[in-house]
């Protein structure tokens, strides 16, 4: 079955149907890049420094970004999760194309769309002009490169030396940072996306001390992106006054430029695009507020978030979903991919409201709001938890039982939803511990312990559940290797896994004597944490730091547990030991032992292999590309980045989102 894209009045596609994930990513059309650019761009310099073709570096980074990040985000921005009406059923939103199409709509030179070479920048619209805004395009390219390099070992082969990969990550990160600084005042949708992506990009390992001393501007970039989204959504330009800038006036009552206004009446789909972008902003803003503990920027936070239209629509759609699925909860149902995705999408909307409520409660406690504000936030949190437990938990449990029989999209999004919801519970209980307000929830000890256990089980499932690289990245002109990788290795938000493991280790450290009394259980948790960090992208300073921290905390808990068990063994009479030879000092139960056998059967190897850590794995390792055996980063002739971009991604090239100019085919080296 060939999926048909949704097109809106002459605009390029920004939605795909659910079946689009199965379409062949190879194309018989003209390849995206034919010859490397001779310009001395930053991307060119990075490519030359590593003897890698710039066109292949660029296309592969975008391919990773589309396959890992946009695939997961597209489900959250699709029809089943977005509460706003108008999206076709079964659609997925491709955020890069959505944001480019919004800028294209605002571009006053859009009338020359049939003659792209004659497009000129119009005064006052250079920031949103898709073709003329080279600074914004270069920044978006640079941030995609820096964001995606973490997953390069999955698609470029297994023999990338660690230092070479880290060096490349540092070069790309420096390039992205320098480009980002140029667009802080460029108010357009592509700039918003670039700023958000850079905010999600971790610091690469090996940065100099003076670079770390300046701090990470990632959080600032996310904040600026949300403020820019507020600005571009304005229906009219108003006078802006600032002590740091020259004030500019707009004619009273003037609307967005006349050329664009005339187009607005011709494109009925623009408001829908703008609404979906606003929904994406809700997802980004809520996640940032939830994880940082700071008030929201784009949407109302503690004071008034329940009155926001987005939150009200999410609650309404959750109730509608509950009514439609009453029979499923009562009598059971057959779990199919389509049903699983629909359940996960609706539950993800509920999870978004839950994160919003937890963020509001954190704000109320952290900033000393009045008791009635704390109670209001507490009520919102408990309502979300009740909705999740009553409406979604039984259906998600059925999906979990059928998970191994579902397709990759359903598996990944079920795992992401389960992990992120329970991460919300862990952060909630951690906040209550911090402010000594455990009275705000019922039976907090058992509830927190249950959340910890379920989080460990979800991460274990993420390690166990395997998918092929071809499933993740699609078919290409050169066949991919048949390697099976875990869901954890393609998680677009690996820092959430690290955060969850850190909170689990904190909980075990605080209450090891009351909660996890089995020494063997702690050993298995330590082993699982090691395997999880092994399978996450290694090219991240924050993940490396989290790995060391979690290991240290779990080691400390293990030592305390071992010493406690040894003391108990010395106190036991030898007679009782002879009478009960089957009883261990740790009190390990047989049922728990059976659960641990699953972990014992797993190997403790990393999916993101480097040259240093694959030596012991033998010569059976195969590379991603069928045309090259190994990629050793030393010879341009051995560059295996042979991916061709999907044919539909010509859309991005047509809008100037690649630095490499298209030229006739030529020998690259």
Q: Does the structure show a pLDDT above 90 at 549? A: yes
Residue 255 pLDDT exceeds 50 = no
Confidence band of 316 (pLDDT split at 50, 70, 90): very high
In this model, does residue 609 exceed pLDDT 60? no
Mean per-residue pLDDT for 145-151?
Answer: 95
More confident residue, 570 or 563: 563
pLDDT (0 to 100) of residue 237: 64
DSSP 291-339: HH-PPPSSS--TTTGGGSHHHHHHHHHHHHHHHHTHHHHHH-----HHH
Distance of CA 138 to the CA centre of its chain: 22
**Measured at the alpha carbon of residue 644, what is the angle toward residues 643 and 649, in degrees to the nearest 5?**
130
User: Which pLDDT value is given to residue 641?
Assistant: 35
328 shares a domain with 200? no
> Looking at residue 105, what is its pLDDT?
84
pLDDT at 625 over 90: no
pLDDT at 424 over 50: yes
Per-residue pLDDT, 320: 97
* Domain, as residue range, for 322: 300-441
- Look at the chain and report how many structural domains it folds into: 2
pLDDT above 50: residue 293: yes
Least Cα distance to 155 among 628, 581, 509 occurs for 628
Residue listed under structure tokens 């359940």: 343
Query: Is the model's pLDDT at 239 over the cut of 90?
Result: no
| Other beta carbons within 10 Å of 2 | 9
Whether 642 shows a pLDDT value over 70: the answer reads no
Over residues 478-499, mean pLDDT:
84
Q: Would 204 be classed as within a structural domain?
A: yes
Contact between residue 434 and residue 370 where contact means Cβ atoms under 8 Å apart? no
Co-location of 220 and 305 in the same domain: no
Domain membership flag for residue 516 = no
Answer yes or no: do 329 and 219 share one domain. no
Helix (H, G, I), strand (E, B), or coil: what is residue 45?
helix
**What band does 358 get if pLDDT is binned at 50, 70 and 90?**
very high
The sign of the torsion formed by the CA atoms of 10, 14, 18, 21 equals positive
Per-residue pLDDT band at 91 (split at 50, 70, 90): confident
The answer to whether residue 600 sits within a structural domain is no
Q: How confident is the model at residue 651 (pLDDT cuts 50, 70, 90)?
A: low
Residue 527 lies in a domain: no
- Same domain assignment for residues 235 and 327: no
Range of weakest confidence among 196-200, 395-399, 467-471: 467-471
Domain boundary among 399, 422, 441: 441
- Do 128 and 66 belong to one domain? yes
* Residue 591: inside a domain: no
Inter-residue contact 221 to 167 (CB < 8 Å): no
For residue 489, what pLDDT band results from cuts at 50, 70 and 90?
Answer: very high
State the CB neighbour count (10 A cutoff) for residue 94.
Answer: 26
The stretch 638-657 carries a mean pLDDT of 46
Residues 310 and 201 in one domain: no
Does residue 215 sit within a domain?
Answer: yes
How much is the average pLDDT of 343-369?
Answer: 96
pLDDT beyond 70 at 146: yes
Strand partners, 92: 16
For residue 281, is it within any domain?
yes
Higher-pLDDT residue of 60 and 620 is: 60
Find the range with the poorest average confidence among 5-14, 88-97, 603-612.
5-14
pLDDT value of residue 4 = 34
Selection from 298, 397, 311, 390 nearest residue 357 by Cα: 311
How sure is the predictor about 512, in pLDDT bands with cuts at 50, 70 and 90?
A: low
- 184: pLDDT confidence band, cut at 50, 70 and 90? very high
Question: 452 falls in which pLDDT band (50, 70, 90)?
Answer: very high
Most confident of 153-162, 293-302, 541-550: 541-550
pLDDT band, residue 663 (cuts 50/70/90): very low
Beta bridge partners, 466, equal: 486
| Local confidence band at 14 (pLDDT 50, 70, 90 cut-offs) | low
CB count, 10 Å around CB of 612?
10
Residue 407 has pLDDT above 80, yes or no: yes
Instruction: Verify that 279 and 348 share a domain, yes or no.
Output: no
CA separation for the pair 404, 410 (Å, rounded): 10
Give the model's confidence band at 309: pLDDT under 50 very low, under 70 low, under 90 confident, else very high. Answer: very high
Residue 608: the pLDDT is: 54
Give yes or no for residue 51 having a pLDDT over 70.
Answer: no
Q: Of all residues in the chain, what percent carry a pLDDT higher than 70?
A: 65
Q: What is the pLDDT of residue 235?
A: 66
- Output 39 or 424, whichever has higher pLDDT: 424
Residue 7 lies in a domain: yes
Backbone angles phi, psi at 567, to 5 degrees: -65, -40
* pTM score, whole prediction: 0.79
DSSP class of 236: B
Q: Which of 441, 457, 473 is the last residue of a domain?
A: 441
* Nearest Cα residue to 302 out of 370, 241, 245: 370
pLDDT given at position 128: 52
Q: Tokens 């290795």 — which residue?
A: 489
Q: 192 and 133: one domain?
A: yes
Range of weakest confidence among 97-101, 281-285, 556-560: 556-560
311 and 289 in a common domain: no
Supply the DSSP symbol for 112.
Answer: G
**pLDDT the model gives residue 475:** 64
Within this chain, do residues 393 and 285 fall inside the same structural domain, yes or no?
Answer: no
Query: Which of 8-22, 493-507, 547-561, 648-662: highest mean pLDDT?
Result: 493-507
Mean pLDDT of the chain: 76
Domain boundary, last residue among 419, 441, 463: 441
CA–CA dist 526, 558 (Å, integer): 9
Average pLDDT over residues 527-544: 94
Which DSSP string do the residues of 496-540 spell out, in sequence order?
A: HHHHHHHHHHHHHHHSTTTS---HHHHHHHHHHHHHHHHHS-S--
Report the pLDDT value the prediction gives residue 623, as an integer from 0 to 100: 33
The more confidently predicted of residues 54 and 135 is 135
Confidence at residue 307, expressed as pLDDT on a 0 to 100 scale = 86
Q: How many helices (H) and strands (E) does the chain have?
A: 26, 6
**Statement to judge: residues 304 and 431 lie in one domain:** yes
Same domain, 287 and 332: no
pLDDT of residue 36: 32
């Amino acid at each position: 079955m060939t999926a048909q894209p949704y097109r809106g009045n002459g605009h390029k596609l920004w939605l795909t149907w659910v079946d689009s994930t199965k379409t062949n990513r190879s194309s018989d059309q003209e390849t995206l890049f034919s010859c490397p650019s001779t310009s001395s761009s930053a991307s060119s310099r990075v490519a030359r420094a590593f003897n890698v073709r710039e066109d292949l570096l660029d296309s592969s980074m975008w391919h990773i970004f589309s396959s890992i990040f946009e695939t997961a985000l597209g489900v959250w921005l699709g029809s089943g999760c977005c509460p706003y009406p108008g999206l076709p059923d079964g659609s997925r939103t491709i955020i890069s194309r959505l944001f480019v199409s919004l800028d294209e709509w605002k571009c006053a030179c859009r009338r020359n769309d049939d003659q792209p070479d004659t497009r000129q920048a119009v005064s006052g619209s250079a920031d949103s002009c898709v073709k003329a805004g080279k600074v914004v395009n270069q920044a978006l390219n640079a941030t995609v490169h820096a964001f995606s390099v973490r997953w390069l070992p999955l698609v470029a082969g297994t023999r990338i030396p660690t230092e070479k990969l880290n060096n490349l990550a540092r070069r790309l990160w420096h390039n992205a940072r320098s480009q980002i600084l140029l667009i802080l005042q460029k108010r357009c949708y592509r700039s918003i996306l670039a700023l958000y992506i850079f905010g999600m990009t971790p610091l690469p390992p090996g940065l100099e001390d003076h670079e770390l001393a300046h701090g990470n501007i990632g959080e600032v970039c996310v904040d600026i992106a949300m403020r820019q989204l507020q600005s571009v959504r304005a229906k009219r330009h108003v006078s802006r006054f600032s002590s740091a800038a020259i004030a500019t006036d707009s004619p009273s009552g003037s609307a967005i430029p006349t050329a664009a206004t005339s187009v607005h009446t011709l494109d009925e789909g623009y408001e829908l695009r703008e609404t979906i972008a606003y929904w994406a902003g809700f997802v980004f803003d809520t996640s940032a507020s939830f994880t940082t503990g700071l008030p929201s920027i784009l949407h109302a936070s503690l004071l008034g978030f329940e009155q926001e239209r987005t939150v009200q629509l999410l609650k309404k759609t959750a109730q509608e979903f509950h009514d439609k699925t009453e029979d499923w909860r009562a009598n059971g149902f057959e779990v199919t991919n389509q049903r699983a995705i629909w359940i996960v999408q609706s539950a993800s909307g509920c999870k978004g409201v839950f994160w919003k409520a937890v963020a509001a409660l954190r704000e109320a406690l952290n900033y000393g709001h009045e008791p009635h504000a704390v109670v209001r936030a507490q009520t919102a949190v408990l309502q979300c938890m009740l909705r999740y437990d009553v409406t979604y938990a039984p259906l998600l449990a059925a999906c979990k039982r059928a998970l191994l029989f579902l397709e990759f999209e359903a598996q990944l999004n079920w795992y992401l939803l389960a992990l992120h919801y329970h991460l919300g519970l862990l952060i909630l209980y951690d906040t209550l511990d911090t402010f000594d307000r455990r009275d705000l929830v019922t039976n907090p000890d058992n509830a927190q312990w249950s959340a910890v256990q379920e989080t460990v089980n979800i991460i274990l499932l993420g390690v166990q559940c395997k998918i092929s690289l071809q499933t993740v990245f699609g078919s290409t002109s050169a066949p991919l290797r048949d390697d099976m990788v875990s869901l954890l290795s393609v998680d677009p938000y690996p820092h959430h896994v690290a955060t969850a493991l850190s909170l689990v280790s904190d909980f075990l450290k605080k209450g090891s004597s009351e909660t996890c009394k089995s020494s063997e259980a702690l050993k298995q948790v330590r082993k699982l944490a090691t395997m999880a960090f092994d399978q996450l992208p290694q090219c991240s300073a924050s993940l490396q730091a989290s790995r060391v921290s979690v290991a240290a905390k779990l080691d400390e808990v293990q030592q305390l547990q071992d010493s406690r068990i040894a003391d108990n063994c010395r106190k036991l009479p030898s007679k009782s030991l002879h009478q009960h030879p089957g009883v261990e000092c740790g009190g390990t139960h047989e049922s728990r032992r059976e659960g641990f056998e699953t972990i014992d059967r797993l190997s403790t190897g990393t999916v993101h292999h480097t040259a240093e850590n694959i030596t012991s794995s033998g010569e059976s390792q195969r590379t991603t590309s069928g045309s090259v055996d190994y990629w050793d980063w030393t010879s341009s002739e051995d560059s295996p980045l042979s991916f061709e971009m999907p044919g539909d991604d010509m859309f991005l090239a047509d809008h100037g989102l690649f630095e490499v100019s298209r030229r006739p085919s030529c020998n690259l080296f």
